[in-house]
Structure 1
């Protein structure tokens, strides 16, 4: 392994004459797949569900953005039509540029999809002249002008730097006789619009079109306004304001933080040149709630996530990026891992297809079913003869598995409607004992029996304190959910309708027992006014307490208790955790550690592992060492890292250099008794300085002024 160290030089490896075979997605899936048998079927099922997730989320994204996108389209159409009428000057000043400030939120990874849809809609219904720019490609004004012209005109634009620096807002001769200025864009735009208007029969030149604008606007989208150089943005706006009479420009600012960003970036003299209208998109948390509601809490979608995996995905969303797009990617990763690592995922599909696949299972797959923890618990509950049949008879096992899959489907058919009912009842209670969002309640139900939770008992007590109108409203909402979500819970619907009818009849029923109760309660009090001893007083108070305990409940209280008892029984019947169901492993992905490792990377841990154990990365046998040590033949940075772990908060560079020279001398094979052993020469000194610089770049140490010739250690511990 002579090429293992990057410090030895650059090596060239000639490519093989044989052409590498291009692998398909299915080949990549099958490679390393757990139990390659039926891997093709699992790949097709995985691909189908992957496409389903992608299609549903795109439709959902369009529905969520439809309102704000329609508002933006109306704004651009209004500005474009206003320009062509005499009231243009009355609407805004002559040099003002219509600008839409689109506040999208901090979920920056999701913005690209929104801008892509917006650009397509604008090109279809408003103007063919739409372009978008990002800050990373517009570091200077000339770059911004170049990108805008190239993307609008569809031609290559090169800039003469010397002439560009003299006057950036005037025409500049380019190598291909194309001027990099808005004057060139105006000439190109006029030529384009005249050609389109002259080619349209039946219209007089100069008369405005009734069915659409003759001069469509030129829309420039700034995707990430906060990242732009303020000076570049100011100069560009100043230049555009001088051409607004000749060129119908329009800006769309993509804002991630706050609309006040415009005032912070642009002085009043520049911002006054913009006629700004604000548009606020749906918050990312609302977007996530909708995605979970439509994608995760969907009984028709066979693939499921257990509580730990779902908690990891939600935590990454809430504490890292607020990106719904990345959340969906996490679900897709879990889907891929499930079908790749779980051979029995061949049964994770629609009911009819799953029943068919059960009958096609080979003996090895049936043996895997027998080894499932949930199936073992099921077998233990059966009669001795049935246990023998399940363990030995493959045909009988297939028939039982078909029934168990049907039971799993029935469980999901009842789980999600009842979950929504419980959320409807408890989401408006004070302090939200079971969570404000349905995902919080779902996580509780996935983890354990929700009725054993203290918060559930607290929620039921609070429900008993609701007024009649509030309770009726909540029960009516539960009935609507059951009618909409599940036709199989017919008995529950009928019972709920019966309870609601009884509540409506309460007003017509007279409570005649109340005077009697009042009299019984107050009768012992009359005796308190008489002269009595301590024993008689204690007896009277005990009678009053017993009277209160034996007080009859009102008809509403009786009916309320009956309704809440019905809800409690419904919850206990349908909201048991999925681990209680047999064969739940077929549909539920449970490896949260895998998802966390792929999505929530820990670069520092990986770097420390590489520096502590270079053999596993370089595969050089000479680097093998005992646990906790590094070979003296390891790369320089590994040796320096290992030595710095033995130091305290401040590291003496000279002592560190001497220790490094001693280790390197041993690696070179010098005898410890020789005079040159451990001696620092120019080569060792240069190698040491480079290793220390690399450690400083990686963030393990930093320079300090506390002591001369010392560095401060920034991390503690190692792998």
Structure 2
């Protein structure tokens, strides 16, 4: 095979006689996470307290997230456990042959969705549950480890038997590893696994003492199944998978095998990858997991739309995290990592985040604020707006008296907690009323409504006005059911204002129930007032009289009295509108909201949605940005001659045109390197190209070609083509 690389050569790597794997434990002194946290942060005097608050808050979020994910996956994992138990018990009874052929392998097709980064956590939970309650013999394999049938067989045997298999050829090391049966190709087969399984089951049935599992199983079968989990079925080589299934089908009578296929796309993948002659050997049962969008909605509902966690993100940051989720990976795990990044950045960059904690911790921390922290509070935009609304004497006290400022901050922190306690229940009530309206004027998901409320006053939105008009067209049963859901939302909330709101809402519901039992009386003469002008139309009349009669009919329709239900419906919706205007104002309207809200969406986007080419160009043009070496500090647009070779070559190539002469490039590079070595410009060796400089230059040019900055060209033999813009 030919190569188009700038550097061509032949390299020989002589294999060692024996690959020695050494496990050495080295103790290195590395800075603690706390020192990294305090490095470069503003307000270092409170960095320890902020770091502890950040750790405690993240531990709480992580714990709640794990519990939430276990609850979400409980149904699918319980179904898989029941499937494995059923297959295991069926095999040990006489009805094995009646329910499936002897050569069929029980297979669970687990459709997890395209959120691949989240699959590892699901499979880990599944493996743990299987080992605790069904069988100790569980092995998970990935496609990147099993490029060939031999590799797949080795990985499976390693997982079950606990042996270590080197990647070297067995023929070279056969003499050195005679004691290990797996190192002989004739023993690397399922027959060895069968012998191992028989030995294991005999030991367990004979009562040989061994290591106890964390959760012993009652009535454990004497022949527990051997479960193989294929984490990423689509990535496996179809030929390798087919051969492995064919081999396993020959041993199914001796070995109780069971497969679990992790599928990211569609169950039809099995038919596409396996021909009928192979797929007929599998007894497949389909399992569908919860969609990633539903998972995300639950995570947002439990972690973000709750007053239990004092840390909050504003609308722009939340929009960035949701956009990365929807347009990149559909990974809830990465969404939570983005939330963790925002949490860490907030406590690192905001000195006043020492107040971002629970009320019982925040109030004492207010009294311990330093003079610089109090000045930071006075400079907050929200606090400046608060001061402007006060009287002149109160303004002077707030700006000069530190003790008075601390007392006011304690009260403002309490008000901020009350705001969050009232905000989220009313948000859920509004979402309950509007989520079923046609075309979803305020969004189908509650996160969409939350984003609208974070931006501005929601009642000033045109979509809100449309939603209220649609609500006034609801039937009695629909409106009554929605209001009852709102009452259920407000029921557990411990807030005086919302308790009063609940009492008023229950009164409206009681009045709705009275309408069902009370007799509705028709207003006397109401129908007459409408139809009496119509009787005049039956008489002969002129054009003027006709116009007058039609106007009277229109006015009579307008003067029609509202029914008791319509009156009560309008009163109920006006009450909901009052609650919205009282409690759903945006967070920016609250004083000291900067303490709890993280607003730097650019930092989140830069860390989570990075541009690789921009980062590479920054590293090559400004190596000090990454290496933090003082000798690399230069003025803008220049590169130090002590920079790495690739940085020097990159800077020199920017000064060239579309085609770069390699010899001229080499001479310029040699001149810069000679200056870095301290050679005098008047010396004979200055700028001279020797073998070492030549080799370093070729390596730097090859790295630039690998990164995509240059390429070989056939226009001139000693030139390369530049692929970046700019230059001469």
Which TM-score band applies after superposition, normalised by the shorter structure? 0.7 to 0.9
Shift of 1:393: 1.6
Q: Contact (CA 8 Å) 2:421, 2:495: kept in 1 or not? A: no
Is the contact between residue 135 and residue 225 of structure 1 (CA under 8 Å) also seen in structure 2?
A: yes
CA distance in structure 1 between the partners assigned to 2:724 and 2:251 by the alignment: 56
Q: What is the match of residue 57 of structure 1?
A: 65
Aligned pair in 2 of structure 1 residues 635, 38: CA closer, same or farther (>3 Å)? closer
Query: CA separation in 1, counterparts of 2:218 and 2:634?
Result: 82
- The yes-or-no answer on 1:317 pairing with 2:317 is no
Q: Distance in 2 between matches of 1:564 and 1:345?
A: 39
* Secondary structure in 1 matching 2:124: helix
Matched residue, 1:593: 602
2-structure distance, mates of 1:619, 1:56: 38
In the alignment, structure 2 segments of 5+ residues that lack a partner are 1-26, 173-179, 210-216, 676-686
Instruction: Assess, with a 3 A threshold, how the Cα gap between structure 1 residues 666 and 693 changes in structure 2: closer, same or farther.
Output: closer
Match in the other structure for 1:576: 585
Q: 1:78 to 1:620 in 2, by over 3 A?
A: closer
Q: CA deviation at 1:545?
A: 2.8
Cα distance per residue 1:429-487 (max 9 Å; x no partner)? 11111111111111111111110111111111111111111111111111111113445
Q: Secondary structure at the match of 1:398?
A: helix
Give the counterpart of 2:556 among 537, 547, 552: 547
* In structure 1, distance between residues paired with 2:460 and 2:314: 19
Residues 346 and 639 of structure 1: CA distance in aligned 2, closer, same or farther (over 3 Å):
closer
Which residue number in structure 2 is paired with residue 276 of structure 1?
Answer: 284
Indicate the residue corresponding to 1:289 in structure 2.
297
Corresponding residue for residue 520 of structure 1: 529
How far apart are residue 70 of structure 1 and its match? 0.4
- 1:567 and 2:564 correspond: no
**Structure 1 segment 206-605 matched on structure 2, within 5 A:** 211-488=219-496, 489-514=498-523, 516-605=525-614
1:108 and 2:111 matched: no
**Matched residues in 2 for 1:715 and 1:358: separation?**
54
Equivalence for 1:91:
99
Q: Quick one: structure 1 residues 366 and 229, their matched pair in 2 at CA, closer, same or farther if it must change by over 3 Å?
A: same
Secondary structure (helix, strand or coil) at the match of 1:277 reads strand
Q: Distance in 2 between matches of 1:416 and 1:426?
A: 15
> How big is the shift at 1:587?
1.1
Contact 1:73 1:122 in 2 (8 A): yes
Q: Quick one: structure 1 residues 622 and 60, their matched pair in 2 at CA, closer, same or farther if it must change by over 3 Å? A: closer
SS in 2 for 1:598: helix
Structure 1 pair 619/49, CA: closer, same or farther in 2 (3 Å)? closer
Q: Quickly say closer, same or farther: Cα 1:343–1:548, change in 2 above 3 A.
A: same
Unaligned runs of 5+ in 1: 1-18, 165-171, 202-208, 670-677
* 1:11 corresponding residue in structure 2: none
Q: 1:500 to 1:615 in 2, by over 3 A?
A: closer
Shift of 1:503: 1.2
1:263/1:485 Cα in 2 relative to 1: closer, same or farther (>3 Å)? farther
- Residues 659 and 722, structure 2, Cα contact 8 Å, conserved in 1: no
* Contact kept? 1:661, 1:679, Cα under 8 Å: no
Q: Distance in 1 between matches of 2:241 and 2:594?
A: 56
Q: CA deviation at 1:244?
A: 1.0
Answer whether contact 2:143 2:236 (CA < 8 A) is retained.
Answer: yes
Structure-1-length-normalised TM-score = 0.86
Quote the offset at 1:607 in angstroms. 1.9
Q: TM-score normalised to the size of structure 2?
A: 0.85
User: Which residue is 1:674 aligned to?
Assistant: none
Q: CA deviation at 1:645?
A: 7.0
Q: Relative CO higher for 1 or 2, CA cutoff 8 Å, sep ≥ 6?
A: 2
For residues 674-713 of structure 1, the aligned pairs below 5 Å read 694-700=703-709
Query: Does the residue aligned with 2:44 lie in a helix, a strand or coil?
Result: coil
Q: Which moved more, 1:245-254 or 1:657-666?
A: 657-666
Question: C-alpha deviations, 1:559-596, integer Å up to 9, x for none?
Answer: 11111100100000000011111111111111111111
Distance 1:530 1:618, change over 3 A: same
1:406-429 C-alpha deviation (Å, 9 max, x unpaired): 111111111000000000001111
Structure 1 residues 5-51: Cα deviation after superposition (integer angstroms, max 9, x where no partner): xxxxxxxxxxxxxx964433322222223212222221211111111
Aligned to 2:74: 66
Offset of residue 342 of structure 1 = 1.2
Number of equivalenced pairs: 679
Two-structure CA RMSD over aligned residues (Å): 3.6
Q: Is the 8 A contact 1:427 1:437 kept in 2?
A: yes
Q: Deviation of residue 179 (structure 1)?
A: 2.4
